[in-house]
Amino acid sequence: MTANQVFKKDCKLMGNRFELSVVATDEKRANETIEAGIDEIKRIEKLLTTFSDDSETNRVNSNAGIQPVIVSRETFELIKRSVSISKLTQGAFDITYGSIDKSLWNFDQDMKSLPDAGTAKKMVRLINYRNIILNEENCTVFLRERGMRIGFGGIGKGYAAERAKLIMKEQGAVSGVVNASGDLTAWGLQPNGEKWTIGIVNPDASGQVFSYLAISDLAVATSGNYEKYIVIDGKKYSHTINPRTGLPVTGIKSVTIITTNAEIADAMATPVTIMGVHAGLDLVNQMKNIEAIIITDDDQLYTSKNINLRDA
Amino acid sequence: MKKIYLTVVGFSMLCRISTHAQTRRDTISTKPLNSSTQSSKQDSTQYNPRKLKLDEVNFVTSYYSQTGNHSAVTGGIGTESVTDIANGLDLNFVWTNNHQNKNTLAVGLGFDYHTAASQAYVSKTGASSPTGTRLYPSLDWTVENAKSGNTFGIGTYYSTEYNYNSLGADLHFSVKTDHKNGEFSAKLQGYFDNVTLIYPSEFVPASTTVVNNGRNGDGGHRDNFGTSPRKTYSAAFGYSQIINSRLQVAVLADVVGQNGFLSLPFHRVYFSNGKDTIERLPSSRFKLPVGFRANYFVGDNIIIRSYYRYYADNWGIRANTANLEVAYKVSPFFSISPFYRYYQQSAARFFAPYEGNSPTQTFFTSNYEYAKFTSQFFGVGFRVAPPTGVFGWQGLHELEIRYGHYSQNTDLVSNVISLNLGFK
């Protein structure tokens, strides 16, 4: 009997590089399983995309302020779950985030100053998950105000990863990893019998790992300002906008969420960043089965209470 | 005997420049959640902590069952058992590079101003300057291995005053025990000094002309004849141990050897037969001090620092020092430390007071530094280290001012005020 090995394949989907790995003895079986996972991600990409005119998301958006739109049960349930996360995070997570008025201020590399508070608030006036009207019986979605838009950028990757994992498990994969550029979910054990681990990178240094975490049967998602940010008056601003103030988020270098499923991990990374260390960790600490690691711009590390810091 | 007043005003600055070479761990410091620095940041996000309802606490576990439908289409993972992370996750820190070191460069500058009435009498007419100043810059470079806590460093020091200059160099290292509770340290130092041969005015050798090839004397007294060297070598060893979170102790022992011109050329000695001369001391000296230190933390705000030292040298001096200081932390940025020190020493073999030395002695001195005496030194220090910097200046991170009153039972009294500034 041949030994267990890791087989992997990657592809570019939903604007991200997805890498699927399975542990198997047989290469052919492994590849078939991975293909099934990739197909599932492709299916979800098609479902949630805003790039084709007749996609569900586009139809909902173009009927904002006009009329409810019938969507598939799958999309409906995803929107419903998104709204529940909005309620949980006091609106810091919001799929209507795309309703931001870019004519007033747009985040771009050459920005020299922030918009004033009044303009900023005007910019985000249409971001409001409460204006998503769902009809369970008819399976319809209605965006109440004109100009409102929904998008699944903050949760779609995690949803797809979780679905791909489910499909691959149904195909018989007892161990594997679905990794969407750092947002990942892992199950089972490595061929050497140890848990899957991830290294957490110091956002300052060029990819240097400063700590690692065992993540078998867990999902991890990270959001950070280290790739996309602007500097105004010596302060770093992330490209994420706070939906309450309309101003870009500052002070946090990266947030890593560790929980039991990738959809929640993906969805929670941005709101914890927006809420800030105090309110963000307060939320995570009260919740069961979810932990967070936050690194601030001045290199302070904060963790939620069930994370034990150990020297290797 | 007339009371001698010695006033010393000391000023020293210590500037520490720390560089962190590739210290992954050091650039990210961990802080507990209740740290006070957070409160100023939370307001700006406009999101405040709130108490969650029970279903929100269980949000993750009941995520898919909320929809009441576990089919694959709803993204549900059904009734599959979910990993429980209530037991905690270990975040393991790694050292990616064995050469992670913390380099510290400490630059110090000290300045003393002292007045001593007797100094005026180096010249028999009392025309010598009664004041003196001493300047002493120092440089120390220490490398600390961030993982083991071991250090190695070199330092250099220079001190100059009107009749004495000193150049020192040292090598120091420390090693920590396995759990970092104990530390062994060693410092090897060498001082290469020059004593300016300022003779009392009546002892200037008659046959020579005034030659200013050494340091010039103080104002008004031009009787100097170059310099004579003095070398000091010392090895200082220490072992400190953290007994528990409240108590730390240390044992210290030094070995010091000196040779060269060990007396001072302007110290007069009057023999029992009335004849006067300059003191003469051996050209070598060996010293062995041994000390013990204990620091105890009482409550959250008080540290008691105690110190005892026994000293013996081959000139016959035996001495005991006992020191006690209580540091009271009024606030995280301000502390008050009263201190008291008791010192007792026996006389050196060749000391005798005025007209006490016999002219047949090989070595003789009447310098009361070598006499039998006891002394007390007590005072109080104030230290401030506000987070915004002293006087709001971020570069000056701490300031300490200490006042002490010193008195010897040989009628010497002195007051010392010293100011310490710490710069980043």
Residue A115 CA to its chain's centroid (Å): 27
Average pLDDT of chain B is 77
Tell whether A240 lies on the interface with B, counting CB pairs under 8 A: no
**Planar angle of CA A141, A145, A150, nearest 5 degrees:** 50
**Residue among B48, B59, B93 minimizing CB distance to A287:** B59
Nearest to residue A128, comparing CAs of A85, A99, A152, A89?
Answer: A99
A186, A215 Cβ separation under 8 angstroms: yes
- In a domain, residue B77? The reply is no
Rounded Cα gap, residues A205 and A299, in angstroms? 12
**Residue among A166, A199, A279 minimizing CB distance to B47:** A279
CB atoms closer than 10 angstroms to residue A292: 26
Portion 91-110 of B in contact with A at CB < 8 A: 91-96
B299 burial via Cβ count (<10 Å: 0-12, 13-18, 19+): exposed
Torsional class of B358: left (φ above 0), alpha (ψ -120 to 50), beta (otherwise): beta
Rounded Cα gap, residues B291 and B200, in angstroms? 38
**Residue among A159, A166, A209 minimizing CB distance to B96:** A209
Per-residue buried b or exposed e for B21-45, using 16+ beta carbons within 10 Å of the residue's own CB: eebbbebbeeeeeeeeebeeebeeb
Tell whether A252 lies on the interface with B, counting CB pairs under 8 A: no
CB atoms closer than 10 angstroms to residue B140: 18
> Chain B residue with minimal CA distance to A241?
B45
**Number of domains, chain B:** 1
B382, B400 Cβ separation under 8 angstroms: yes
Whether the model pTM is above 0.95? no
Residues of A in contact with B47 (CB under 8 A): 90, 92, 244, 274-276, 279-280
- Strand extents, DSSP E, A131-250: 132-135, 140-143, 176-180, 183-187, 197-201, 209-214, 218-224, 229-232, 235-241, 248-250
> What ipTM does the predicted assembly reach?
0.86
Task: Please give the pLDDT value at position B35.
Answer: 33
- In a domain, residue B414? The reply is yes
Say yes or no for a CB contact (<8 Å) between A276 and B51.
Answer: no
Q: Distance from A292 to chain B by nearest Cα, in Å? A: 10
Question: What is the DSSP annotation of B183-217?
Answer: EEEEEEEEEEEEEEEE--GGGS-TTSPP---S---
Of B117-131, B171-185, B191-205, B364-378, the range with the lowest mean pLDDT is B117-131
Residue A107's alpha-carbon distances to A125, B345, B403, in angstroms, are 17, 76, 58
Rounded Cα gap, residues B383 and B334, in angstroms? 6
Tokens of B261: 């011109």
As a residue count, chain A comes to 312
Which has the higher per-residue pLDDT, A18 or B87?
A18
DSSP state of A42: H
Strands A16-24 and A132-135: unpaired
As a residue count, chain B comes to 424
Tokens of B59: 């949000």
A111 burial via Cβ count (<10 Å: 0-12, 13-18, 19+): middle
Task: Please give the pLDDT value at position A205.
Answer: 60
User: How confident is residue A276, by pLDDT bands cut at 50, 70 and 90?
Assistant: very high
Question: What is the DSSP annotation of A63-84?
Answer: TTTT--EE--HHHHHHHHHHHH
Question: What is the DSSP annotation of A146-177?
Answer: TT-----TTTHHHHHHHHHHHHHHHTT-SSEE
Decide: helix, strand or coil at residue A109. coil
Tell whether A139 lies on the interface with B, counting CB pairs under 8 A: no
User: How confident is residue B104, by pLDDT bands cut at 50, 70 and 90?
Assistant: confident
> Chain B residue with minimal CA distance to A297?
B28
Say yes or no for a CB contact (<8 Å) between B75 and A213.
Answer: no
Rounded Cα gap, residues A8 and B424, in angstroms? 51
Q: Which CATH class is domain A1-48+154-187?
A: alpha beta
Q: Which residues contact A109 (CB under 8 A, 6 or more apart)?
A: A230
Task: Please give the pLDDT value at position B32.
Answer: 38
> Chain A residue with minimal CA distance to B29?
A300
Residues of B in contact with A209 (CB under 8 A): 94, 96
CA atoms lying within 13 Å on the CB side of residue B216: 5
Say yes or no for a CB contact (<8 Å) between B67 and A308.
Answer: no
Give the largest CA-CA distance in chain A.
69
Say yes or no for a CB contact (<8 Å) between B60 and A299.
Answer: no
Of A124-133, B165-174, B194-203, the range with the lowest mean pLDDT is B194-203
**Residue among A290, A299, A310 minimizing CB distance to B60:** A290
B118 burial via Cβ count (<10 Å: 0-12, 13-18, 19+): middle
Kindly report the CATH number assigned to the domain that includes residue B298.
2.40.160.40
Tell which of A278, A283, A285 to mutate to test the B interface (max B CBs under 10 Å).
Answer: A278
**Planar angle of CA A291, A292, A293, nearest 5 degrees:** 140
The pLDDT tens digits of the residues spanning A84-96 come to: 999 999 999 999 9
Q: Distance from B154 to chain A by nearest Cα, in Å? A: 30
Q: Distance from A287 to chain B by nearest Cα, in Å? A: 4
Which has the higher per-residue pLDDT, B412 or B334?
B334
Residues of B in contact with A274 (CB under 8 A): 45, 47
Portion 6-65 of A in contact with B at CB < 8 A: none
**Residue among A218, A258, A300 minimizing CB distance to B29:** A300
pLDDT greater than 50 at residue A133: yes
Tell whether A80 lies on the interface with B, counting CB pairs under 8 A: yes
pLDDT greater than 90 at residue A54: no
Q: What is the CATH number of domain A195-312?
A: 3.10.520.10
Q: Distance from B397 to chain A by nearest Cα, in Å? A: 19
Rounded Cα gap, residues A159 and A265, in angstroms? 10
Q: Which residues contact B214 (CB under 8 A, 6 or more apart)?
A: B194, B196, B197, B224, B225, B226, B227
DSSP state of A98: G
**Residue among A74, A299, A308 minimizing CB distance to B91:** A308
Task: Please give the pLDDT value at position B217.
Answer: 43
- Strand extents, DSSP E, B120-163: 131-145, 151-161
**Planar angle of CA A59, A64, A66, nearest 5 degrees:** 100
pLDDT greater than 90 at residue A53: no
Q: Distance from B78 to chain A by nearest Cα, in Å? A: 10
Tell whether A160 lies on the interface with B, counting CB pairs under 8 A: no
Q: Which domain holds residue B233?
A: 93-423
Q: Please state the domain extents for chain A.
A: 1-48+154-187, 56-143, 195-312
Tell whether B72 lies on the interface with A, counting CB pairs under 8 A: yes
Decide: helix, strand or coil at residue B67. helix
Rounded Cα gap, residues B414 and B313, in angstroms? 26
Rounded Cα gap, residues B398 and B403, in angstroms? 17
Tell which of A136, A250, A277 to mutate to test the B interface (max B CBs under 10 Å).
Answer: A277
- Encoded amino acid at A113, one letter: S
B95, B122 Cβ separation under 8 angstroms: no
Task: Please give the pLDDT value at position B68.
Answer: 44
**Residue among B47, B91, B95 minimizing CB distance to A309:** B91
pLDDT greater than 50 at residue B33: no
B396, B421 Cβ separation under 8 angstroms: yes
- In a domain, residue B64? The reply is no
**Planar angle of CA B110, B111, B114, nearest 5 degrees:** 140
Residues A201-217 have a mean pLDDT of 76
pLDDT greater than 80 at residue A280: yes
Tell whether A210 lies on the interface with B, counting CB pairs under 8 A: yes
Residues of A in contact with B95 (CB under 8 A): 312
Say yes or no for a CB contact (<8 Å) between A308 and B44.
Answer: no
Q: Which residues contact B78 (CB under 8 A, 6 or more apart)?
A: B64, B70
Portion 368-397 of B in contact with A at CB < 8 A: none
How many CB pairs (< 8 A) connect A and B? 195
A101, A125 Cβ separation under 8 angstroms: yes
pLDDT greater than 70 at residue B74: no
Tell which of A157, A211, A236, A296 to mutate to test the B interface (max B CBs under 10 Å).
Answer: A211
Say yes or no for a CB contact (<8 Å) between B89 and A279.
Answer: no
The pLDDT tens digits of the residues spanning A98-111 come to: 888 777 667 666 67
Residue B362 CA to its chain's centroid (Å): 38
Rounded Cα gap, residues B141 and B137, in angstroms? 14
B153, B142 Cβ separation under 8 angstroms: yes
CATH of A56-143, one of 1.10.3980.10, 1.10.10.60, 3.20.20.20, 3.30.200.20: 1.10.3980.10
Rounded Cα gap, residues B8 and B374, in angstroms? 20
User: How confident is residue B120, by pLDDT bands cut at 50, 70 and 90?
Assistant: low
- In a domain, residue B302? The reply is yes
Average pLDDT of chain A is 89
Portion 18-57 of B in contact with A at CB < 8 A: 24-25, 27-31, 33, 35, 37-39, 41-42, 44-52, 56-57
Q: What are the beta bridge partners of residue A192?
A: none
Tokens of A206: 């060029």
**Planar angle of CA B413, B415, B419, nearest 5 degrees:** 160
DSSP state of B56: H
- Encoded amino acid at B14, one letter: L
pLDDT greater than 80 at residue B96: no
pLDDT greater than 60 at residue A137: yes
A94, A86 Cβ separation under 8 angstroms: yes
